[in-house]
Amino acid sequence: MYSKWDIGIVLLMSSYCLTFTVSAQQKSAEINLSTLLSAMPAKCVTLTQGRQCFATVTLRWQAPIIGNYCIYQVGTNKALDCWYNQQQNTLIFEFESSKSVQYTLVENNSEQVIADTHIEVSWVHKASPRKRRWRLF
């Protein structure tokens, strides 16, 4: 039904596709390994739900190649900071938010997000429908 040539072509194409897929996965893995954006601390704890949380946060980033990069806070258009002809760096800033915030590392020329991280805001006491009166003794 099928000639030897037909079977050969199918095998050759399958082999090529398999090789291409593996290669693409390896490349993606390499980019993921070499691209990094991390926050320290990654969590900010406030006393009461809904209250502003304060922390001195260090964002570390690392890109696969030297280039121009900026860190953005998701939801705002203004970059927290930008770097030119660099492959890695750190940003220290004063975090202040009542909600969790996501940050992205963007490659300037392509405007492509290459990494992201977030700082989670949590709390000790949930918001109460009652206003509290506090007293020690």
Could you give the CA distance from residue 131 to residue 48 in angstroms, rounded to a whole number? 12
128 belongs to the binding site for other proteins (CB under 8 A):
yes
| Closer residue to other proteins (CB): 4 or 131 | 131
Instruction: Check if the beta carbon of residue 38 is closer than 8 Å to that of residue 116.
Output: no
123 belongs to the binding site for other proteins (CB under 8 A):
yes
Could you give the CA distance from residue 24 to residue 100 in angstroms, rounded to a whole number? 34
99 belongs to the binding site for other proteins (CB under 8 A):
no
Map the footprint of other proteins across residues 32-51, applying CB under 8 A.
43-47, 51
121 belongs to the binding site for other proteins (CB under 8 A):
no
Q: 4, 75, 109, 131: which one contacts other proteins (CB under 8 A)?
A: 131
**Phi/psi of residue 45, nearest 5 degrees:** -110, 130
The site for other proteins, by CB under 8 A, has a size of 24
To other proteins, the closest distance from the beta carbon of 51 in angstroms equals: 8
To other proteins, the closest distance from the beta carbon of 133 in angstroms equals: 5
93 belongs to the binding site for other proteins (CB under 8 A):
no
Burial class of residue 110 (count of CB atoms within 10 Å of its CB; 0-12, 13-18, 19+): exposed
78 belongs to the binding site for other proteins (CB under 8 A):
no
Instruction: Check if the beta carbon of residue 69 is closer than 8 Å to that of residue 35.
Output: no
Measured between alpha carbons, how far is residue 57 from residues 38, 87, 106 in Å?
A: 10, 20, 19
Can you give the binding site for other proteins, defined by CB under 8 A? 43-47, 51, 53-55, 122-126, 128-137
